[in-house]
Chain A
Amino acid sequence: MGSGTGIGRVRGLGSAKHGSMHWWRQRVTAVSNLLLATWFVISMFRLPSLSHEAVVQWIGSPLVAVPLVLLTISVFYHLRLGLQVVVEDYVHEEAGKVFFVLLLNFYAIGGAALAIFSILKIAFAGVSA
């Protein structure tokens, strides 16, 4: 820890370390969510049906698989940031806070990994209808 300037003394302590980055990334992913989720909702309505065949064929196209992967990353990152604030606001004991943020990280990373792997499997390997 520095002993000279004010910034040197607070660096590495709590929000002085990464508070603004958390806020900023919440906004960056909010903008990408807005674009990608709007595309996703419109695409869902334009699909001929929600049958297995139609969905697998749709995801197989590069111009669908890539935005779908990006949507997954954007949404799961955004929800991880958002729910972290909710946990920090309502869970007051330190142990509980650590437990729920850990659980949240597992959910966000595990969920996103499952979704991305499934998209890539459909796109690369295909699925027999």
Chain B
Amino acid sequence: MSRNPGRPLSPHLTIWRWGPHMLVSILHRATGVGMALAAGIGFVWWLVAAATGPEAYATFLAVATSWFGYLVAIGLTWAFFQHMFSGLRHFVLDIGAGYELKVNRTGSLLTMAGSLLVTFAIWAPILLRAASKGAQ
């Protein structure tokens, strides 16, 4: 698209003072794209492997339970809850509520605190169990 360089640009990221509402908006998009690719491909691979047979499924499981698989799974867990909580925030904004500065800021921070908390609550027991099994 051609743009007349004589015309002013709308202010972008570098102009505004950073706030949690900006971060949560960017995270919503980043986690959406990340899940669309990583979780999408993982989900399809899981189902195709299961439908193909035990050997194909064993290959999937070997990758999924490697350290890399765990890393991706932990990242996707956080992305899932971040996207879900900030999606719920979008529903609130869609009905025209939550635009007051303080409410908006608190809501944004809550999505991030919530996603980190739930990710920790899910993975800490799993990793602790794996670690204690490895120590035996």
A residues in contact (CB < 8 Å) with B: 27, 30, 34, 37, 41, 50-52, 55-56, 59, 72, 75-76, 79, 82-83, 86, 92-94, 107, 111, 114-115, 117-119, 121-122, 127-129
B residues in contact (CB < 8 Å) with A: 1, 29, 32-33, 35-36, 40-41, 43-44, 47-48, 50-54, 57-58, 61, 64, 80, 84, 87-88, 90-91, 94
**Known: A37-B80, A56-B50. Is A82-B36 also a contact (CB below 8 A)?**
yes
Contact among A37, A55, A76, A92 with B84 in the assembled complex (CB-CB below 8 Å): A37
CB of A113, distance to nearest CB on chain B (Å): 9
Q: Is B33 in contact with A86, judged by CB distance below 8 angstroms?
A: yes
Residues in A with CB closer than 8 Å to B87 are: 30, 34
Dominant secondary structure of chain A at its interface with chain B: helix
Q: Is B47 in contact with A119, judged by CB distance below 8 angstroms?
A: yes
Residues in A with CB closer than 8 Å to B64 are: 50
Which partner residue on chain A sits nearest B51 by CB separation?
A: A118
